Amino acid sequence: MTSFPKRKCLMIGAGGMASAWIRNFFPRFRQRMEIVGLVDINPDALRESGDFLNLEESKRFTDMAIAFEKVDADFCTIVIPPAFHRDAVRLAAGKGMNILSEKPIADSWEACLDIVKMVRTSGVKMQVVQNYRYTSRILTVKEVLSSDRLGRVNYIIGRFADDYRQRGAWGAFRHEIPHSLLVEGAIHHFDQIRNLAGADCEEIAGWEWKPYWQQSFDGECCGLYTAKMVNGVMAQYEGNGLEGGQANGWHHEFYRVECELGSVEVGNDNVVRVYERNHNLRMEEIPNVRPTFEGHNGIIDQFLNWLEDAPEPETVITDNIKSAAMLFSAIQASQSGSLVNVAEMVTEAMS
Ligand SMILES: NC(=O)c1ccc[n+]([C@@H]2O[C@H](COP(=O)([O-])OP(=O)(O)OC[C@H]3O[C@@H](n4cnc5c(N)ncnc54)[C@H](O)[C@@H]3O)[C@@H](O)[C@H]2O)c1
């Protein structure tokens, strides 16, 4: 087995999802990395995760600027709300520190553009966490699509629906920010549509909204969108943060890929089903592939390998900006009531 140097990580965020990184994901990689500094503005979250890590007091910070100044690390992991991602990237890039960041890149297109620029100018490596590409259900769908069994892809249907009718049910900040479904939810689903289509998005049209009768969200929590990919594949997306009926929540989203010779779908029960018609309709359940590392663990493995000079992972910033462009084009499409050219936004980001 190849042995790599143990990489040092400055962890930005200690509560919420960061708590899962610290307790569930990173421990699996303890031979390859260690957290040497921890930041959170919430002293309770900082203490609880700091104690879990057995981290000395001098390595715990409530201000990330001080942490970046004092801690030497090979990379930082950013797991705080999107509104603060740009500040963290600025500090990391300024110090030449590599970055593993939770999605979305940032909470505005302007902040995304700044981040791309800072990363490219500084030459640091940055990967964005799009863990749902590496779940066993989606890897199985991808395997069916790449086997050519169903021929060419025609169009994709994607559905996410969860019950956040109770204010705070989706984590406090998501009920307060604008465009909550798109910024915090649909970024995963748009990225997945790119992944399943095997192509980037060319144009998008549709609406996001918040029903006047609900009090749970300040921002838009529902969305219906149609996207055209550069290879001609079409996609339809339904997103609902107010589901009162049949849900398709996290890890149970519904995807159906309609192809030349049949279709493949996965939904609530996580069983991948292929449908083919030759006079009669035939259905086959496909056994799920079992990768060594799934979801977040898959991303961490890729990132640590990349630090050792393995090839660039799929979700590097220069690729993930194309999913972010889809997200911010979707917001623009809704505001203007028109079709938005996503490809032009990507060109703007990369110029
Ligand atoms: N990939 C996934 O499946 C997944 C799931 C959940 C969340 N996320 C992402 O993780 C990130 C964090 O989301 P969350 O649900 O953990 O949010 P959260 O509101 O629970 O915040 C996480 C922690 O960040 C701390 N924090 C907030 N602002 C800070 C700042 N300026 N400096 C230092 N610490 C700060 C908070 O005190 C909290 O402990 C978001 O980007 C979100 O989209 C990803």
* Per-residue model confidence (pLDDT) at position 108: 97
21 forms bridges with which residues in the sheet?
Answer: none
Domain layout of the chain by residue ranges: 7-131+295-318, 132-293+324-350
Whole-angstrom Cα distance, residue 182 to residue 259? Answer: 27
pLDDT of residue 1: 52
Q: Whose CA is nearest to atom 33 of ligand 1?
A: 40
What was the pLDDT predicted at 199? 98
| CA 293, 297, 303, 304 torsion-angle sign | negative
Residues in contact with ligand 1 (CB, 6 Å cut-off) = 12-18, 39-42, 45, 64, 79-82, 84, 102-103, 129, 131, 171, 173, 184
CA–CA separation, 194 vs 180, rounded Å? 21
Q: Which residues of the chain are under the pLDDT cut of 70?
A: 1-2
Ligand 1 centroid, distance to 241 Cα (angstroms): 19
Among 11, 48, 64, 79, name the best residue to mutate to test ligand 1's pocket (greatest count of ligand atoms within 8 A of Cβ): 79
Q: Please give the distance, rounded to the nearest whole angstrom, from the Cα atom of residue 6 to the centre of ligand 1.
A: 26
Q: What is the pTM of this model?
A: 0.97
The pLDDT, as a whole number, for residue 274 is 98
In whole angstroms, give the CA distance from residue 97 to residue 113: 19
- Taking a C-beta distance cutoff of 8 angstroms, is the pair 104, 80 a contact? no
CB neighbour burial string for 27-49, b if at least 16 within 10 angstroms, e if fewer: eebeebbebbbbbbeeeebbebb
Q: What is the CATH number of domain 7-131+295-318?
A: 3.40.50.720
Q: How many CA atoms lie within 13 A of 315 on its CB side?
A: 31
Residue 334: per-residue pLDDT: 98
> 132-293+324-350, superfamily in CATH?
Dihydrodipicolinate Reductase; domain 2 (3.30.360.10)
**Helix crossing, 317-336 with 187-197: angle to 10°?**
110
- Give the per-residue pLDDT at 148: 86
Q: 82: cis peptide before it, omega within 30°?
A: no
Whether the Cβ atoms of residue 45 and residue 15 lie closer than 8 Å to each other: yes
Dist. CA 8 → ligand 1 center (Å): 21
DSSP one-letter code for 163: B
For atom 34 of ligand 1, the residue with the nearest CA is 40
Q: Is 51 exposed, middle or buried (0-12, 13-18, 19+ CB in 10 A)?
A: exposed
Model pLDDT, residue 302: 98
